[in-house]
Amino acid sequence: MRTIVIGSRKSQLALVQTYWVQAELQKLHPDRTFSIETMTTQGDNILDVALAKIGDKGLFTKELESAMLAGTTDLAVHSLKDLPTKLPDGLVLAAITERENPADALVVNAKHQDKQLETLPEGSVVGTSSLRRLAQLRHHFPHLTFKDVRGNLNTRLRKLDDGEYDALILAVAGLQRLNMGDRIQQIIPPEISLHAVGQGALGIECRSDDQEVIDLLSGLIHYPTQQRCLAERAFLRELEGGCQVPIGVSSQINQTSLTLAGLVATLDGTTLIKDQLTGDINQPEAIGRELANKLKQQGAQAILDQITQQFRSA
């Protein structure tokens, strides 16, 4: 039997996630061999420019996808929030794994150990590379100063500990996967910051005509997470949003129903358009599309058009 080659980015978090997938696949298929091929993506190489200014069409996925299409690798493990909602021809999202906590977290410099977002002193420098986080936090905490921060998790934390920032906003899931949960000062509630589409889940991509690999991956699918993330991704796809647009979501499942909350914000955080929709758990993409159109009718389309124009003229 052929060896199945898994593609991964080289960052510590990416490798932790990929090793986990490799181990789970080995448990499910002990007679098979799964190897790992690492590579660097454009998003890993460009660290001195804000993500929104680079554009987000496959920043962290293009090289992994090219390797699959060339037959060098057979599947790729992604943080699902990094995977564009429109995949290249010939590739498919074959599995979405059980989600970690999708919320955002506040991590602080030691001098603010007794603080939370609400109590950080005026002018405190908060680092984030996400326009989604930035817009929502600017809306709720206009007295704070926000500054872009790039690099892997360890690099960002070092900048925080060295005093370049008073606090950082990071994903709870990434910190937990790297056994850094003790750095979490505050889990930010959805009332303050809706999370990114797919945040906390892993997405496993492979060639759409490789039924053997699709079958091997089927055991990793976590149905509740899959349905929630499909609704979130459909919402984002309908809005045609990405790193350049402040779009947030939250989703919940209650027996046979799925509730999706969504948000579109202006870059300065002065306007937040937010709503939610509940529907059949078996129709997640319909829920996502309908909620996106609901927000467009409430003014989200004008915000999206304005932001697109701003980036085109920048």
Which active-site residues does the annotation give? 82
* Alpha-carbon span 168 to 149, nearest angstrom: 8
SS3 34: strand
**Torsion of Cα atoms, 172 then 177 then 179 then 180, to 10°:** -30
Is there a contact between 206 and 73 (Cβ–Cβ < 8 Å)? no
Residues 6+ apart with CB under 8 A from 58: 42, 65, 84
Length of the chain: 314
| DSSP secondary structure letter of residue 152 | -
Q: In sequence order, what are the residues at sequence separation of 6 or more whose Cβ sits closer than 8 angstroms to the Cβ of residue 97?
A: 21, 201, 202, 204, 220, 221, 222, 225
Q: Which of 125, 106, 102, 126 is nearest to 116 (CA)?
A: 106
